[in-house]
Structure 1
Amino acid sequence: MSVSTLTEWLRERDDAALARLLGARPDLATPIPADTSVLATRAGSRASVARAAESLDTFTLAVLDALLLCDADTRPVTLAEVAAMLGTKVSRKSARQGVDTLVGLALAWGPESALSVAPSAREAAGMFPGGLGRRSAELDGRDLAAVLAELSEPERRVLATLAEGQPTGRSKDANTLVPLEQARTPVQQLLARGLLLRLDADTVELPRQVGLALRGANPMGQVKVSPPPVQTTGRTLSTVDSTAAGEAMELIRHTEALIALWSAEPPPVLRAGGLGVRDIRKLARELQADEVRCTLIAEIALGAGLVVATDTTSPQWVPTTQADVWLAATPPHRWATLAAAWLDLPRLPGLAGSKDLRDKVISPLSDELRRPLAPTARRRVLDALGEFEPGTGVDSTEELAGLLAWRAPRRGGRLRDELVFWTVREAQALGLVAFGTLTSPARILLEDGPALAAKRMAEAMPTPVDHVLVQADLTVVAPGPLEQALGHEINLVADVESAGGATVYRVSETSVRRALDAGRTSTDLHELFRTRSRTPIPQALTYMIDDVARRHGQLRGGAAMSFLRCDDEALLAEVAASAAGTRLELRKIAPGVLVSPVPLADVLEELRTAGFAPSAEDADGRLMDLRPSGLRAQARQRPKTSGLPKPASPEQLADLVSSMRAGDKAAGTRRGRTVALAGGRGADTSETLALLQEAVTNGRNVYIGYVDAHGTASQRVIEPVRVGAGVLEGLDSTRSETHRFALHRITSVSLVED
Structure 2
Amino acid sequence: MSATTLAEWLRAQDDTALVALLRARPDLATPPPADTTVLATRIGSRASVARACEDLDTLTLTVLEALLVLDADVAPVPSTAVLDLFGGTDVRPALDTLRARALLWGDDDALSTPPATRDAVNPFPCGLGRSVPRLADADLTALDPDEHRVLQTLAAGPPVGQTKDAAHVVSLANARTPIQKLLARGLLVRRDALTVELPREIGLKVRGDRPLGAIQTTEPPLTTARRDQSSVDHTGGGEALELCRHVESLLKSWSEEPPAVLRSGGVGVRELRKLAKDLDVDERRAALLVELVVNAGLVADTEGVEPEWVPTTQTDTWLVAAPEHRWATLAQAWLDLPRLPGLIGQRDDRDRLLNPLAPELNRPGAPRDRKRILEALAALEPGTAVTDPDELAAVLAWRAPRRGGRLRDELVRWTVDEGTQVGVIAHNAITAQGRTLLSEGPGAAAKRLADALPAPVDHVLVQADLTVVAPGRLDPELADEIALVADVESAGGATVYRVREGSVRRAFDAGRSAADLHELFRARSRTPVPQSLTYLIDDAARKHGRLRGGAAGSFLRCDDPVLITEVLSHPAAERLALRKIAPTVVVSPLPLAEVLDGLRAAGFAPAAEGPDGHVLDLRAGGRRIAGKGRRKPVQPSTASDEQLGELVRLVRAGDRAATTTGGARVSVPGHLGAGPSATLALLQRAAREGRSVLVDFVDSHGTAARRVITPQVVGGGVLEGVDVSYGEVRRFPLHRITSAALVEDDRA
- Scaled to the shorter chain, the TM-score interval is 0.7 to 0.9
Encode CA deviations 1:280-336: one digit per residue, 9 max, x unaligned. 111111111111111111100000111111122211111111111111111000000
Match of 1:286 among 274, 278, 291: 278
Q: Does the C-alpha gap of structure 1 residues 739 and 158 become closer, same or farther in structure 2, counting only changes over 3 Å?
A: farther
Matched positions, count: 682
Distance (whole Å) between structure 2 residues aligned to residue 556 and residue 719 of structure 1: 86
State the AA in 1 paired with 2:203: G
CA RMSD of aligned residues (A): 2.9
Report the CA distance shift for 1:152/1:718 in structure 2 as closer, same or farther (over 3 A).
Answer: same
Structure 1 pair 218/750, CA: closer, same or farther in 2 (3 Å)?
closer
Equivalent residues of 2:300, 2:630 under 8 A apart: no
- Which of 273, 293, 302 lines up with 1:301 in the alignment? 293
SS in 2 for 1:705: strand
| Aligned: 1:122 with 2:118 | yes
Matching of residue 42 in structure 1 with residue 33 in structure 2: no
**Alpha carbons 1:671, 1:750 under 8 Å: kept:** no
Q: 1:445 to 1:641 in 2, by over 3 A?
A: farther
Aligned residue for 1:505, secondary structure, equals strand
- Partners of 1:421 and 1:752 lie apart in 2 by 56
User: CA separation in 2, counterparts of 1:365 and 1:328?
Assistant: 26
In the aligned structure 2, how far is the partner of 1:634 from the partner of 1:26? 39
Q: Distance in 2 between matches of 1:634 and 1:679?
A: 41
Does the residue aligned with 1:178 lie in a helix, a strand or coil? Answer: coil
Q: 2: distance between equivalents of 1:80 and 1:53?
A: 23
**Is the counterpart of residue 651 in structure 1 residue 647 in structure 2?**
no
Alignment check: 8 A CA contact 1:378 1:423 kept: yes
Is the 8 Å Cα contact of residues 653 and 743 (structure 2) preserved in structure 1? no
With over 3 angstroms needed to count, the CA separation of the structure-2 counterparts of 1:490 and 1:447, relative to structure 1, is same
Q: Following TM superposition, by how much is the alpha carbon of 1:168 offset from its aligned partner in structure 2, in angstroms?
A: 2.1
The residue number in structure 2 matching 1:602 is none
Superposed displacement of residue 720, structure 1: 2.8
Seen in structure 2, the aligned counterparts of structure 1 residues 413 and 752 have a Cα distance that, compared at 3 Å, is closer
Is 1:522 the counterpart of 2:518 in the alignment?
no
- Alignment partners' CA distance in 2, 1:350 and 1:270: 20
Matches within 5 A, 1:267-666: 267-558=259-550, 637-641=629-633, 645-666=636-657
1:673 Cα deviation after fit: 9.8
Partner SS state of residue 438, structure 2: helix
Structure 1 residues 226 and 699: alpha-carbon distance in aligned structure 2, compared to 1, 3 A threshold: same
Q: Please, which runs of 5 or more residues in structure 2 have no aligned partner?
A: 556-580, 590-624
Q: Deviations over 1:521-540 (max 9, x none)?
A: 11111111111111111111
Partner of 1:59: 59
The answer to whether the 8 A contact 2:657-2:743 is kept is no
TM-score computed with the length of structure 2 as normaliser: 0.86
Q: 1:116 to 1:676 in 2, by over 3 A?
A: closer
Q: Which digits, 9 at most, give the CA deviation of each residue in 1:23-43, with x for residues without a partner?
A: 000000001111111111100
**Does structure 2 retain, via aligned residues, the 8 Å contact 1:138–1:194?**
no
Return the letter of the residue paired with 2:338. Answer: P
Deviation at 1:649, TM superposition (A): 1.1
Q: Name 1:80's counterpart in structure 2.
A: 80
1: CA distance, partners of 2:703 / 2:5: 26
1:658 alignment partner AA:
R
Aligned mate of 2:100, from 88, 100, 104: 104
SS in 1 for 2:646: helix
Q: Shift of the alpha carbon at 1:475?
A: 0.8
Give the match for residue 681 of structure 1. Answer: 672
Give the TM-score normalised by the residue count of structure 1: 0.85
Matched-pair contact (CA < 8 Å) for 1:344–1:642: no
Distance 1:317 1:716 in 2: 51
- Change in Cα spacing, 1:546 to 1:750, as seen in structure 2 (3 Å) is closer
* Alpha-carbon distance in 1 for matches of 2:199, 2:221: 34
Match of 2:659 among 665, 668, 677: 668
- Contact 2:658 2:664 (C-alpha < 8 Å) held by counterparts: no
Amino acid at match of 1:117: T
Aligned to 2:568: none
Q: Which residue of 1 aligns with 2:14?
A: 14
User: Deviations along 1:159-217, whole A, 9 cap, x unmatched?
Assistant: 21222231123334444343333333323322332222333444332221111001112
Q: Give the Cα separation in 2 of the matches to 1:635 and 1:527.
A: 46
| Offset of residue 250 of structure 1 | 0.9
Which residue in the other structure is 1:28 paired with? 28
Counterpart AA for 1:228:
P
> How far apart are 1:248 and its partner, in Å?
0.5
CA distance in 1, matches of 2:108, 2:467: 78
- Over 3 Å counting, the alpha-carbon distance change for 1:528 and 1:46 in structure 2 is same
Report the secondary structure of 1:283's partner residue: helix
Change over 3 Å in CA distance of 1:46–1:741 after alignment to 2: farther
Could you report, residue by residue, the CA deviation over 1:322-361 in whole angstroms, capped at 9, with x for unpaired residues?
Answer: 1111111110000000001111111111111112222211
Task: Report % sequence identity.
Answer: 58
In structure 1, what is the Cα distance between the partners aligned to 2:445 and 2:411?
Answer: 24
- List per-residue Cα deviations over 1:643-672 (Å, max 9, x = no partner): 6x3322111111111111111111111135
| 1:742 alignment partner, SS class | strand
Q: Distance in 2 between matches of 1:12 and 1:154?
A: 55
Q: Which amino acid aligns with 2:102?
A: A
